[in-house]
Each structure stands twice: as C-alpha cells, then as structure tokens.
Chain A
C-alpha cells in the first residue's frame, strides 16, 4: 500500500518558535509538495520540489522554507511561527510527468499560540 506519512497529526507551538514538519513517501516519487488548507480557500501551494536539493516557490512561500536532502523526505520549516500560520498542512507526492495522481499524507493540524 503506497504511503505518504507526515510526522505529526497535531502540533501546538508558541509564536516565534522554529517549527519542522516532516513528510516521507515510500513510492520513489520525484515530486513532492507542501500545501496549506484553510476553509473556503482550498489548498494553496507553499513549496514544491522536483528532485533532491531542488525547490520551487509556490503561491504562498513567505514565512516558510523547505529542505529535501533525500528523495523520500521533504521538510517544511516555519522559521518563526506566527498565529496566522495556524492551519492544516498537507504533504503530497507525484511521479514526473503530467496528469499524474497526487498522493497525500493525512495532514498536520498546526496551532500557533
């Protein structure tokens, strides 16, 4: 059974903390993505990576960074967490090429207090 696994389901962090969200996939997919999900806004792309050590900004990269040192692992970093980063974060992976299915993790609900 193919899997994308996010390290935490729920996280509570304080304003100003550095936060790491981890995502691992076991499908040998080239592309990996981080989205945030907010009611009424759908999924908005933060960053994506199409290869190890490669990254591209999505639509809302401000306040975030990413790391992809290994093909199977894609990390999202909140450099200094703020309350407006309270959200559901979803990781996804796909193979290279168009029209491919995105496989998602179960999500991490992050609350910044």
Chain B
C-alpha cells in the first residue's frame, strides 16, 4: 500500500499568519493533487501538479511538487478564517486511482 504522510496533523493559527503543510511519500506519483474539505461536505480539488519541481499559485496558496515527484507542500500566506478546513493531498498512481494523505486540519481564528 502506498502511503502519503501529511504534517502537521492539526494546525491552529491566527488570521494573518503564514503556514506550510507537507505531504511526503516514499513512492513516486505521476501527479499530486490537493483537496480541501469543509465540514459536512466532500473534498473539492484545489490544484493538480504534474511536473517535478513545479510550483503553482492560487491567490494566497502556493503549491510545490518535489523534484523527485514523491512529496509536495502547500503554503498559505496571510491565512484567513475562510481557509479553515481539512487539507488532503492525493497522489495519482497512474492506474486510475488516487492515494490520499492522512490530512491536515487547519483552524484560522479571527
């Protein structure tokens, strides 16, 4: 079974702070996705990174795919309460299925 470990598991910060979430694996993935899940809902895709070393920006969110395509990070600048949620990374195995990470629960207080 391929595993994706996320750290930290839980993060509680004040509005305006910066944070980074990490997603690590010993396996190589053809692509890496990040999802956000809000209470009572299913996960929703934020971004897909495909190329080793790729960096994508989505407003205040910056996503990076490791050079070896085994790890990824999500950096949020000036976090806002609306960023609160569960962040999940997911690796594409190339066999039509996604392997999900353990999740990082983010709480941003006003």
Interface, chain A (partner B; CB < 8 A): 4, 9, 31, 33, 35, 40-45, 48, 50, 58-59, 90, 92, 94, 96, 98-99, 101-107
In angstroms, Cα B1 to Cα A41, docked, is: 13
Given A42-B4, A42-B102, A58-B97, CB of A101 within 8 Å of CB of B45: yes
Docked-complex contact B97 and A35, CB < 8 angstroms: no
Given contacts A4-B42, A102-B35, A106-B40, 17 further A-B contacts (CB under 8 A): A9-B40, A35-B100, A40-B9, A42-B6, A42-B100, A43-B43, A48-B97, A59-B1, A90-B42, A94-B96, A98-B30, A98-B96, A101-B33, A101-B48, A102-B98, A104-B44, A106-B42
The reply to whether A45 and B97 contact each other, CB–CB distance below 8 Å, is yes
Q: How many residues of B contact A (CB 8 A)?
A: 28
Report the minimal beta-carbon distance from A63 to chain B, rounded to whole angstroms.
17
Q: Are A98 and B31 in contact (CB under 8 A)?
A: yes
CA distance A99 to B94 in the complex (A): 8
- Find out whether the CB atom of A48 lies under 8 angstroms from the CB atom of B96: yes
Kindly report which residue of chain A lies nearest to residue B30, judged by CB atoms.
Answer: A98
Contact assessment for B94 and A98 in the assembled complex, using a CB-CB cutoff below 8 Å: yes
B50 touches A42 (CB 8 A): no
Roughly how many angstroms separate A11 CA and B33 CA in the complex, as a whole number?
Answer: 30
* A/B interface sample: 12 pairs, CB < 8 A: A9-B40, A35-B100, A40-B9, A42-B101, A45-B97, A90-B42, A99-B48, A101-B33, A101-B45, A102-B43, A102-B98, A107-B41
Give the complex CA separation of A99 and B31 in angstroms.
6
- Among B44, B88, B96, the residue within 8 A (CB) of A43 is B88
By Cβ-Cβ distance, the 3 closest A-B pairs, closest first, are: A104-B42, A43-B100, A99-B31
Report Cα–Cα, A70/B1, bound state, in Å: 29
Does B106 lie at the interface of the complex (its beta carbon under 8 Å from any beta carbon of A)? no
Residues of B within 8 Å of A101, CB to CB, are: 33, 45, 48
Residues of B within 8 A of A9 (CB): 40
CB < 8 Å neighbour of A98 from B4, B43, B92, B100: B92
Residues of A within 8 A of B45 (CB): 101-102
